[in-house]
Amino acid sequence: MYQSEPNMAFGILLVALLGMLVLGALSAVVVGLVLVATKGGRILVGIGLASLFFVLILAGGLFRVVGYRTTEVIPSSVTQVAEEPLRPRAIAPPKEIPLDAKPADEAAPQPKPPQEVKAEVEELPPEDPQPSTPARTLSSSPDYPFPDVRPPNFPSNFGPFGPNRGGRFASSASPDPHAEIQRLREQAMNGLYERMHGIPTISNEPQEPVENEPETPSEPIAEPESIIPPGRPAWVEQAPVWEDDGTCLVAVSSGPFERGMDCRKTLENETRIALREFTNDYLDNAYAAEKLGSQLDELSESVVVETYREELNASVGPMQQWHSLLKFDGTLQQKLRELWLAQRQVSRIVYIGAGFLGLLGILSIFYVGMSLTGEGTKVSPWLVSAGTVVALGGLLVVGVIFVQVFPML
């Protein structure tokens, strides 16, 4: 099953384009109604209505295609499966094959004459009246299916737990037989768990203390020799700082190079980059540094307060590195505001001129269209209408490109 869901993915450029087309069509209709007494006015009314109808159809089609998306919805269903009890299968008893069977073709050995066997009966010692160890049984304890080993009743002189049995079990066995049985049971369970899951378990048995080996005094680790020479200022590694009077201090570095000329070029480039970033942040516009252009590059030398040059003792040989401290004080900030204000005024003048040229282009298109449809002309009115629509569309495209290339400040 398919279902349409709203997906209003219209861009601002598309909305502006449709709005301009509707506005142009309405303007053509209004001008045609004013000049309806003439032939050109009636043609203009027809062109405006046709353009308006075309724009409405285009907007509806875009809204239908772009504004809605079709998704596939799969209805969910629940399938119940009847469960049947498993029936035990009858298994035939296995046939026993005698181990001493021999082929029939072999000659059977001759039976020996029976010999007299004298049975000797030995008297067994009397059994202990105490009950024997009960058999292991299954229980419903949490350790199921492990067997529940119940503590047996051992005689007083049993195994290593009896008196005067301090043999090889004396150091590892517990004097309590029940505790020893519990310990053996835990060892068996831990071994089974480790074989099943491959994860060793943590034993609760107390481990024998290991005698600490005498610690040998370790040799002191030699600290690596620093490649930075002494005397580096503190401002080289500090972050950007804003002072109380509104001054911003920024440190830039060139990086290690073999030649001082490379350090100088890199340091000048880093200074221009830091000035551009500060300009965009201070004027709160991402195009500020780009619009100011060369005027901003002229200020890059005035922001350098101090330069520090050092020689690094690297493993590849001596390297040079330069550092500069940049200061963006109130004088520089005032200069940036003045340049930005002048740039905004220029931008507004350019937009006013572009708007005037656009209006002049629209009037020129209508004038040419009315001239071609006057008395004595052999041009088809439909051709004039199509040319007018194409010219208006081209003028609109030029306006959109101008706004994208030259954004208003």
HEC assignment per residue over the chain: CEEEEECCCCCHHHHHHHHHHHHHHHHHHHHHHHCCCCHHHHHHHHHHHHHHHHHHHHHHHHHHHCCEEEEECCCCCCCCCCCCCCCCCCCCCCCCCCCCCCCCCCCCCCCCCCCCCCCCCCCCCCCCCCCCCCCCECCCCCCCCCCECCCCCCCCCCHHHCCCCCCCCCCCCCCCHHHHHHHHHHHHHHHHHHHHHCCCCCCCCCCCCCCCCCCCCCCCCCCCCCCCCCCCCHHHHCCCEECCCCCEEEEEECCCECCHHHHHHHHHHHHHHHHHHHHHHHHCCCCHHHHHCHHHHCCCHHHEEEEEEEEEEECCEEEEEEEEEEEECHHHHHHHHHHHHHHHHHHHHHHHHHHHHHHHHHHHHHHHHHHHCCCCCCCCHHHHHHHHHHHHHHHHHHHHHHHHHCCCC
Residue 246 within a domain: yes
- Per-residue model confidence (pLDDT) at position 265: 92
The model's pTM is: 0.42
Q: Are residues 276 and 307 in the same domain?
A: yes
Residue 135 belongs to some domain of the structure: no
Q: Let me know whether 358 and 304 are in one domain.
A: no
- Residue 361 is assigned to a structural domain of this protein: yes
**248 in the same domain as 317:** yes
The domain boundary residue, chosen from 328, 363, 393: 328
Q: In order along the chain (409 residues), what is the average pLDDT of each group of 10 residues?
A: 46 68 78 73 78 75 53 45 52 55 50 51 55 50 53 53 47 63 80 66 55 55 63 86 89 89 91 92 88 85 88 81 91 91 87 86 83 74 82 87 80
Residues 239 and 324 in one domain: yes
299 shares its domain with 357: no
Shared-domain flag, residues 45 and 15: yes
State residue 166's pLDDT score.
46
- Domain presence at residue 189: no
In a domain, 249, yes or no: yes
Q: How many structural domains are present in the chain?
A: 3
pLDDT of residue 372: 78
User: What pLDDT, on the 0 to 100 scale, is given for residue 325?
Assistant: 92
Are 367 and 319 within one domain?
Answer: no
In a domain, 42, yes or no: yes
Last residue of a domain, one of 293, 328, 363: 328
Start-to-end Cα distance in the chain? 51
* 251 and 297 inside one domain: yes
- Boundary residue ending a domain (306, 328, 350): 328
Residue 197's pLDDT is 65
Residue at 159 is within a domain:
no
Range of the domain at 360: 340-405
Is the domain of 243 the same as that of 323? Answer: yes
Whether 313 and 377 map to the same domain: the answer is no
| Domain presence at residue 219 | no
Q: Are residues 13 and 51 in the same domain?
A: yes
Does residue 385 share a domain with residue 299?
no
